[in-house]
Amino acid sequence: METAVFIVCAAIVLAGALGVVLARNPVHAALSLVGTLFGMAVLFLNLEAHFLAAVQIIVYAGAIVVLFLFVIMLLGVDRLEDLSVEPITGQRVLAAIVGLGTFGLAVAFLVTSDIGLPGQEALTGPITDQYQYSNLRQIADVLFTKYVYAFEATAALLTISVVGAVVMSRRIARADQAQEAPESQEAAGDD
Amino acid sequence: MVTASWYLILAAGLFTIGAVGLLVRRNPLIMFMCVELMLNAVNLTFITFGRELGDIGGQVSVFFVLVVAAAEVVVGLAIVVAINRRRPQATADDLSVLRG
């Protein structure tokens, strides 16, 4: 059963990832990203990471992709991109070489190391601690004790990023625009 | 049976697709989505190793990666919106100067 779930979800994840890279329309790419994230959440369930599967759906598929779609609609960049031309000569060949090198090195590491090679015993059961806590309680147990400073730092990080987003998306003051009037002429359709 | 290395190979493939997409595509939004793909591949690796080693720390790491990814998307999309206000339909190739 775990094998069947893995194969189906791996197909969904890889198809969604290829959809993101190959889609000409940004909206289609965002919807492919939802497929990838959903398949990834089911894989998390397969790996007994129940809390993160829920967070994956809520945060990634629910918030981040919606933010992407919102920006796509806001900017009106839902036009098709011509993928047949290669802006920099040889770029795709080099990118393919880099990709194959990355993948090859990762697989070579797996083959030469002794962690979980194919044919060894399968993953069985969830992670257990000495108290037999559930997955969520195990995470909370270390998150609020061992990693509590990192947890507080993420609060600061989120606050700073929200402030930064507000500052950057604010309209420029009028005096600044008068100074840059010649530049805005070449950028047709600005504002 | 599914062993840990199947998950790790899947994660490596997903990371590769994201990296190639980041290198090839010109649209800043698509490039952000490719970064998300790469982050997800690393998340899968974290959880697989965490389960293989019986350590919950892998899942806690993924939790932090999720938070950082959310912050990154917020700031990155704000930059995209700010750049698009100044130069509509700009691709990554057009943005060779930082002052926008």
CATH of the domain at B18: 1.10.287.3510
Enumerate the residues of chain B whose CB falls inside 8 A of the CB of residue A23: 30
Interface TM-score (ipTM) > 0.95? no
In this prediction, residue B98 carries a pLDDT of 62
In this structure, of A16-20, A185-189, B4-8, B86-90, the range with the lowest mean pLDDT score is: A185-189
Whether A120 sits inside 8 A of B50 (CB atoms) is no
Instruction: Report the residue from A3, A13, A165 with minimal CB separation from B75.
Output: A165
**CB-CB under 8 Å, B33 with A20:** yes
Task: Look at residues A175, A176, A179, A177 and name the one whose alpha carbon lies nearest to residue A190.
Answer: A177
In three-state secondary structure terms, A190 is coil
> Which residue, among B81, B64, B69, B68, has the nearest Cα to B29 in the 3D structure?
B81
Domains contained in chain B, number: 1
**Beta carbons within 10 angstroms of residue B41's beta carbon:** 26
Partner-chain residue, chosen from A63, A91, A160, that has the shortest CB–CB distance to B70: A63
Closest partner CB to B37 (pick from A36, A103, A110): A36
| pLDDT tens-digit map of B23-58 | 988 888 899 999 999 999 999 999 998 888 888 889
Contact across the interface for B85 and A190, Cβ inside 8 Å = yes
Measured between beta carbons, the chain B residues lying within 8 angstroms of A59 are 66, 70
What is the domain extent for residue B12?
4-98
User: pLDDT averaged over chain B?
Assistant: 87
Tell me what pLDDT residue A184 has.
46
Q: Is the dihedral of CA B40, A35, A123, A120 positive or negative?
A: negative
Q: What is the C-alpha to C-alpha distance for residues A57 and A78, in angstroms, rounded to an integer? A: 25
Q: At B89, which amino acid appears? A: Q
Q: Which of A40, A70, A74, A147 is the mutation pick for testing B, counting most B CBs within 10 A?
A: A40
Determine the distance in angstroms separating the CA of B10 from the nearest CA of chain A, rounded to an integer: 7
The angle subtended at Cα B33 by Cα B30 and Cα B35, nearest 5°, is: 115
The residue ranges of chain A whose pLDDT is under 70 are 77-79, 114-132, 172-191
Query: What's residue A179's pLDDT?
Result: 52
Minimal Cα–Cα distance from A175 to chain B, Å? 15
What gap in Å lies between CA A108 and CA A158, rounded to an integer? 37
- The answer to whether A32 and A16 have CB atoms below 8 angstroms apart is yes
CB contact residues (below 8 A), chain A span 37-76, against chain B = 37, 40, 43-44, 46-49, 51-52, 55-56, 59-60, 63-64, 67-68, 71-72, 74-75
pLDDT, residue B54, reads 81
Q: Residue B28's pLDDT is what? A: 87
A156 touches chain B (CB under 8 A): no
Task: Tell me which amino acid residue A191 is.
Answer: D
The verdict on a CB contact (< 8 Å) between A33 and B84 is: no
Query: A-chain residues within 8 Å CB-CB of B42?
Result: none
